[in-house]
Amino acid sequence: MSTREHQQLRDLLRLPQNARCVDCAVLDPKWASFSLGYFMCIECSGIHRMLGTHITKVKSTTLDTWKPEYVEVVRRRGNVSFNAEWEARLPAGKTIDAHTGSAERERFIRAKYERQAFRGTATRDSYARAAAKMGCAVDESGALSPAVSGSDSPTAAAAAAAPRVSPAVARRLAAKKAKEAEERNKKARAAEAAEAAKRAAEAEAKAAAEVAKRAAEAEARAAAETDVGELFGSAPAPAPAPAASGGGGFAVRNRDGAGAGASCHRRLCVRGGRTCCHDGPHL
């Protein structure tokens, strides 16, 4: 027998919140309460039937006929939402699992449904515990991630679920990590650029110092040659001539040959085809 309602029930059973029995957390429950809206395993369903329809109404999700409004009840509720309220005050470690004997299983189910001994107000914590019991994780927005497979024990499922993060949280963590990596790269690039600039500045300063040193050496050599030329020259040293006149047989000009200026201290004098260099005040 397969109707649209059965297909809808199969779809609901594929949701992470309904992957396990609402009571013992065994995987792949096939029975459901169409009055309270949860799914359970066949073993727990036998005890639920014993409780009476005034407490809960049970159907097989595959063998029984379902009305659309019954499907709507389990669609609206589901195991995590149900347990967040009906196991809100359940002491830690007091749940049952696949290995629990029938007597203890019945005690637990009667306490939970007949006396409503664990029922309380659903909180964020009770919701998280209910999600862990179903083997799925819940993120900050309350969204549930897919169930953990391969484990039949709710304790193991809870332990496995604890370190898991939902896809949304994983995406946020990945984005955060990527941002941090980008920041680190940015800092590294800035440090590299600063180092390169420092090296370039040092190289430039070194080159400039080298040029200045060579220029000074060349100037010193030229000055020495001038002194030697004047020392051994046949003509007597000329009398100082006014810079602007250029008279006395000497052509006086500044270094670029444009004529002596008032502020120019560097001049060349040309005598007998030989060029020598003097500091301005020496002329």
Please, what is the minimum distance in Å from the beta carbon of residue 20 to Zn ion?
8
For residues 81 and 95, which CB has a smaller minimum distance to Zn ion in the complex?
95
Of 230, 241, 255, nearest to 283 by C-alpha is 241
* Six-digit token string for 53: 């329809």
Please, what is the minimum distance in Å from the beta carbon of residue 163 to Zn ion?
25
For residues 44 and 138, which CB has a smaller minimum distance to Zn ion in the complex?
44
Please, what is the minimum distance in Å from the beta carbon of residue 69 to Zn ion?
25
Binding mask 14-53 for Zn ion (x = CB under 5 A): -------x-xx-x--------------x--x---------
Please, what is the minimum distance in Å from the beta carbon of residue 45 to Zn ion?
8
CA dihedral 170, 149, 132, 116 (to 10 degrees): 150
The number of beta carbons lying within 10 Å of the beta carbon of residue 168 is 13
Tell me, what DSSP letter sits at residue 88?
T
For residues 19 and 26, which CB has a smaller minimum distance to Zn ion in the complex?
26
Please, what is the minimum distance in Å from the beta carbon of residue 172 to Zn ion?
35
In a 10 Å sphere around its CB, with 0-12 CB exposed, 13-18 middle and 19+ buried, how is residue 130 labelled? buried
The number of beta carbons lying within 10 Å of the beta carbon of residue 201 is 10
> What is the rounded distance in angstroms from the CA atom of residue 40 to the CA atom of residue 6?
16
For residues 39 and 269, which CB has a smaller minimum distance to Zn ion in the complex?
39
Of 156, 169, 85, nearest to 125 by C-alpha is 85
* Binding residues for Zn ion restricted to 187-216, rule: CB under 5 A: none
For residues 95 and 166, which CB has a smaller minimum distance to Zn ion in the complex?
95
State the residues that interact with Zn ion by CB under 5 A: 21, 23-24, 26, 41, 44
